[in-house]
Structure 1
Amino acid sequence: MKVIVVGYGIQGHKRFKVAGEDAVGIVDPVAPEANWRRLEDVPIDRFDAAIVCTPDSPKIGLLRHLLERGKHVLVEKPLFAANGDDFRALEALARRTGALCVTAYNHRFEPHFVRMRDLLLSGRLGSVYRCRMFYGNGTARLVRNSAWRDTGDGVLGDLGSHLLDTVRFWFGDVADGFRIVSAERFENRAPDHVVIAAEGRPQIELEMTLLSWRNYFTCDVFAEHGSAHIESLCKWGPSSFIHRTRVLPSGRPPEESQILVQDDPTWALEYAHFKQLCEARTETDLSNDIWLHRALTRLGREIQAGNAA
């Protein structure tokens, strides 16, 4: 499969490297390494698929251009549009031309995230009571210095999209019942520390920040027959997964523990999965993007309303 990378920033560099021999060119208006300045300049017979790593605003137009020509697309998260109808139109276009459009959520390929999903699906935990996640990095100053990144809902769209997608990866099609617990602008114009939560079963609490000077992820799942815990990601390793089995009526639980010390495998695994989907001629399904867009848009409006008040 011949692939072009559209947008050669931080993510574009990573994607180009992972594509390896499949990568045949770069589209970027300013990068000196670029082969073409505009997507329209790329000869249609030079590539089969594109990895789109641009800012949010031009994405829909770029995807439309590619899908109309039957080109498969892996697009960096989050995929935003003016409204849900844009997603449905893209989905219909992709299905009509036989092209696959997939939004990249590489944490679905994090080994401990897969392990958590498999444990939940196994039923060994029984009824799940509560899940809480924290995802933080220290990029507040970098974001503040970026004209296009320090806007809108800030860290909510950036890290919150990963966390909400992970909730759906683990628990399936959960209800969109999330609310803003807090949204702070400690250093930036846009929110740089946000907490959201949802009631029900399981209760879910998601905290995200650009003010964690050491990059950090943690998750705790509390359930009827035990609990499960993730600390850190492979890229920040070592990364650990602990499954504790409840002892009745009480007592110290036996636990299974796995610790990984390795490079981040998610980018290569996600690209390999994308290629497999393309080869299998998988039909485009943007239902997850529609759900995430609806949830993030509503939560973003809550933040703006709270700020105005």
Structure 2
Amino acid sequence: MRIIVVGLGNQGRKRLKVAGADAVGTVDPVAPDADWRRIEDVPPDCFDAALVCTPDGPKLELLARLLGHGKHVLVEKPLFASAGGLARLDALARANAAVCYTAYNHRFEPHFERMAGLIRSGELGRVYRCRLSYGNGTARDVRDSVWRDQGAGVLPDLGSHLLDTLLFWFGDLDAPFRIWSASRFENRAFDHVVAGARGMIVFEIEMSLLNWRNQFTCDILAENGSAHIDSLCKWGPSVFTRRHRVLPSGRPPEDAITVVRSDPTWTLEYAHFKRLCETGGPGNMGNDRVINAILDDLAVQALEGHGT
């Protein structure tokens, strides 16, 4: 499969490296080493698919052009569009037998796949609560960016990953999400947000630019015990812990698995995208619709009354 990379920022260069020999060219309006400045300059017959790694603004126009020409697309998350906008992209993809896939590489973390399997096995029994926390220390970097420190800030940036993780593990999210706190401690946009939903399972998601060190944690409390993830592969040792409940009480037996390896998710996700292209999909715009609807609602709540 012949690939072009559109956008040569940090993400684009990572994607270019992973694509390796599949890459036939790059597009960027300013990068001196790009092969083309505009997507319109690229001969349509020289590539089969595009990895779109641009800021949010140009994405929809780029996707419409690519899908309209029957080109498969992997686009960096989040893919923000109205329900009508996503429906139009979906129609273009179907009409032209093209795959449109929004990249959520954390699905390919070894412990994320392990957690999905544990939940689906039923071994945990009834799941009571799932808490996800994702933070880094990029508040100053974001504040200094022309286009990143605006709108709802950290909410769509990291919140999209966390919502996608819940969809991956649990499928349906049966209750509306509400902002529990939204703060602008250092930035113009929100740099720390906590939100949640109280349905059959209580979900809590925390997003922060103020952790000073990269951090991901997950805690699932359930009828037959609990399950936990501490960190992602890209940040060093990633630990999965399964605790088996002792009744009526007592110290639970504990199984812990530690993974120490370089980040495998980019390569695994690219291989997944190639398989989708080879088999005809499907893409994952249904996932985008759910994430967009929740994030849109949370952004309204945060901007209207929780910006402390």
Q: After TM superposition, is the score higher than 0.5?
A: yes
CA distance in structure 2 between the partners assigned to 1:142 and 1:156 by the alignment: 16
Match of 1:18 in 2: 18
**SS of residue in 1 equivalent to 2:251:** coil
**SS of residue in 1 equivalent to 2:111:** helix
**SS of residue in 2 equivalent to 1:206:** strand
Moved over 2 A (4+): none
Code of the aligned partner of 2:181? S
Match of 2:3 in 1: 3
Deviations 1:78-101 (A, max 9, x none): 0001x2011011101100100000
Do 1:2 and 1:24's aligned partners in 2 also have CA atoms closer than 8 Å?
yes
Instruction: Describe how 1:73-84 pairs up with structure 2 within 5 A.
Output: 73-81=73-81, 83-84=82-83
Structure 1, unpaired ranges of 5+? none
Instruction: Describe how 1:140-179 pairs up with structure 2 within 5 A.
Output: 140-175=139-174, 177-179=176-178
Corresponding position: 1:196 with 2:195: yes
Instruction: Describe how 1:212-251 pairs up with structure 2 within 5 A.
Output: 212-251=211-250
Do 1:156 and 1:296's aligned partners in 2 also have CA atoms closer than 8 Å?
yes
CA distance in structure 2 between the partners assigned to 1:283 and 1:134 by the alignment: 30
Code of the aligned partner of 1:33? D
**SS of residue in 1 equivalent to 2:57:** coil
Q: 1:272 to 1:138 in 2, by over 3 A?
A: same
Match of 1:117 in 2: 116
Deviations 1:203-227 (A, max 9, x none): 0111110011110111100000010
Deviations 1:114-154 (A, max 9, x none): 10000000000000000111100011111111110001110
Q: 1:76 to 1:262 in 2, by over 3 A?
A: same
CA distance in structure 2 between the partners assigned to 1:254 and 1:43 by the alignment: 61
Cα-Cα RMSD: 1.1
Corresponding position: 1:277 with 2:276: yes
**SS of residue in 2 equivalent to 1:229:** strand
- State the Cα distance separating 1:165 from its structure 2 match: 0.6
Do 1:176 and 1:295's aligned partners in 2 also have CA atoms closer than 8 Å?
no
Match of 2:46 in 1: 46
CA distance in structure 1 between the partners assigned to 2:131 and 2:98 by the alignment: 37
Please give the TM-score of this superposition, normalised by the length of structure 1.
0.98
| Pairs aligned (count) | 308
Please give the TM-score of this superposition, normalised by the length of structure 2.
0.98
CA distance in structure 2 between the partners assigned to 1:229 and 1:250 by the alignment: 19
CA distance in structure 1 between the partners assigned to 2:206 and 2:79 by the alignment: 21
CA distance in structure 2 between the partners assigned to 1:173 and 1:59 by the alignment: 27
Match of 2:290 in 1: 291
Corresponding position: 1:60 with 2:60: yes
Q: 1:7 to 1:176 in 2, by over 3 A?
A: farther
- State the Cα distance separating 1:285 from its structure 2 match: 4.2
Match of 2:260 in 1: 261
- State the Cα distance separating 1:175 from its structure 2 match: 2.6
Code of the aligned partner of 1:24? V
State the identity as a percent.
Answer: 64
- State the Cα distance separating 1:291 from its structure 2 match: 0.7
Structure 2, unpaired ranges of 5+? none
Do 2:183 and 2:306's aligned partners in 1 also have CA atoms closer than 8 Å?
no
- State the Cα distance separating 1:200 from its structure 2 match: 1.5
CA distance in structure 2 between the partners assigned to 1:226 and 1:278 by the alignment: 40
Task: Give the stretch that moved more between structures: 124-133 or 169-178.
Answer: 169-178
Code of the aligned partner of 1:151? Q
CA distance in structure 1 between the partners assigned to 2:282 and 2:102 by the alignment: 13
Match of 1:90 in 2: 89
Deviations 1:48-89 (A, max 9, x none): 0000000111111000000000000000000001x2011011
